[in-house]
Amino acid sequence: MIKVYGRARWNGQIVFGFIGLLCVCIALALGMARANAGTPVRLLILGDSLTAGYGLPVADGFQAQLHAALRAHGADVVLVNGAVSGDTTADAAARLDWVLAGSKVDAALVELGGNDGLRGLSTVMMKHNLTRILDDLAARHIPVLLSGMIAPPSLGAAYGARFKAVFATLGHRKGVLFDPFFLQGLPGKPGLVQADGLHPNASGVRIEVKRLLPLILQLIAAAKTQH
């Protein structure tokens, strides 16, 4: 039998106490990791008719097809619908606080600008509105995928260049993933757009989702690091 006296016994109590505390910390960390692993990422879709599913049955719209694609890739995601047909960047910026107050959001896809372009609105104001949106999301540590838009050619080359530059500039912001053109590969393709020649049909949406999916999965991964 070994007897421990004095300082040696006191040091032993400290060691065992430290080991016990370390075990508790590890257990708590593992418990939090399991909880986070089982918590779906809440992805805000802040957009206009292109992400609201204009002209399509719900099952064929962008959000429904995106959700199905994410599930097929094993991503546990809840979509928060913040897309409103007809919205300009000013409209979306004005209602963002209300959207965020009403629902927890972990990441955001921002798809706006199409209606600004169709109406020939000021690119300076469009940049101001988008900056306000990105600032609000950044303040809440919400990573963003910014998907850009191109102005109608009828508005002239100078306006088109200014319009495109707004998205290119904001796409370089910290915490922002950037996709230059939401409708990439779709304009002018009759088999991929609706009768208005602008909004994607179900097949066009399928192409959109497939193209954007890698970026959205990257966005979801970024959101998980914020949990």
Closest C-alpha among 113, 118, 183 to residue 152: 118
Q: List the catalytic residue out of 60, 76, 199, 203.
A: 199
> Cα separation of 51 and 145, whole Å?
14
CB of 144 within 8 A of CB of 137? yes
CB 45 within 8 A of CB 112: no
Amino acid at 195: A
Instruction: Dump the DSSP string for 22-72.
Output: HHHHHHHHHHHHHHHHTSPEEEEEEESHHHHTTTS-GGGSHHHHHHHHHHH
Q: Beginning with the edge strand found earlier in the chain, give each strand of the sheet holding 77-83 in spatial order.
A: 77-83, 41-47, 107-111, 144-147, 176-179
103 is catalytic: no
Q: Distance between CA 92 and CA 81 in Å, rounded?
A: 12
Coil, strand, or helix at residue 97? Answer: helix
Assign 3-state DSSP to the chain and report helix, strand, coil percentages, each to 5.
Answer: 55, 15, 30
State yes or no: is 49 an active-site residue. yes
- From the candidates 49, 87, 106, 179, which is the catalytic residue? 49
With tokens 């047909």, the residue in question is 85
199 labelled catalytic: yes
Which residues are identified as catalytic? 49, 196, 199
